[in-house]
Amino acid sequence: MIQHVTKHTGERPFKCKKCPFRSRWKRDLIKHQVKHSDEKKYMCSQCDFTTKWYNNIKHHQIKHSTERPFSCHICDMKFKRKTGLDYHLYRHNDYKPKKCPKCDFRCKTKSDLSKHIKIHSNVRDKICEICNKGFATFANLSKHKLRHVTERKFQCELCTRRFKTRISLRNHLTTHNDHKPFSCDVCGHRFRNRHNMKTHKLTHSEDRAFKCPICPYAGKFPFHIFAHIGTFHGDKYAYFCEICRKPFRRYSQLQTH
């Protein structure tokens, strides 16, 4: 009854003796007081990790688990945590509200946009320790470092192919099954992944979304633009950005970009 009344009065009768924290509820005070304790009574049985909080140890122990109980109903991917599945499902959504102010790039989240915008910066402070080449983002650095890797330790169990990364192996494994969850809503043709389905749908469209940066020519596919520039502008523009495919006349301009 007393605790219920505090909802209406705003009174916080439970006070921490070590800091100004006050609470309406005794249970909240008990939880808070753990912050002032050096005791880490929750210990991981598989490594040296310890924590004051029960929720932290439960969250940590998932890292050691091989089980992936959360499955995507659109594709074959599985996840250890529901949060991972939720984020993945968001990726299946085509809505991309965030747009780069410097190019046509669009994405779903503010964090993805922030990573992309670094591409337009002259700052290349993520350095490859093997060749000293600089990159704007850790993602681009990681992709680059794969070039230095010669070992292909991920073996396909269904054929003789080997891969440098687990993701490459996972993508390859889809070629061994007939599961094609992505369907073209125009002709019904089915595909193993969303990217191939989207590329296919362009064949049904009259929209020429890919523009030549040099002249008014437009094409349905990126490779139409690359071929066009090579044929009609190749003598002027010899260098292309690997990320956005913008052409440059001189290598120094590409490096600055």
* Segments of the chain with pLDDT less than 70: 1-10, 95, 230, 233-257
Smallest CA-to-CA distance from 14 within 34, 38, 39, 32 is with 32
Predicted confidence at residue 120, as pLDDT, reads 79
- What CATH number labels 1-65? 3.30.160.60
Under a CB-based contact definition with an 8 Å cutoff, are residues 99 and 105 in contact?
A: yes
Under a CB-based contact definition with an 8 Å cutoff, are residues 44 and 62 in contact?
A: no
Under a CB-based contact definition with an 8 Å cutoff, are residues 156 and 162 in contact?
A: yes
Under a CB-based contact definition with an 8 Å cutoff, are residues 137 and 123 in contact?
A: no
**DSSP letter string, 18-76:** SSS-EES-HHHHHHHHGGG-----EE-SSSS-EES-HHHHHHHHGGG-----EE-SSSS
Listed in order, strand segments (DSSP E) in 113-251 are: 126-127, 134-135, 154-155, 162-163, 182-183, 190-191, 210-211, 218-219, 239-240, 247-248
Predicted confidence at residue 242, as pLDDT, reads 56
Q: How far apart are CA 199 and CA 251, in angstroms?
A: 31
The residue ranges of every structural domain in the chain are 1-65, 210-256
- Bridge partner residues of 134 (DSSP): 127
The neighbour count for residue 116, using CB atoms within 10 Å, is 21
Predicted confidence at residue 236, as pLDDT, reads 58
Predicted confidence at residue 257, as pLDDT, reads 60
Predicted confidence at residue 65, as pLDDT, reads 79
Under a CB-based contact definition with an 8 Å cutoff, are residues 239 and 251 in contact?
A: yes
Predicted confidence at residue 46, as pLDDT, reads 80
Predicted confidence at residue 191, as pLDDT, reads 82
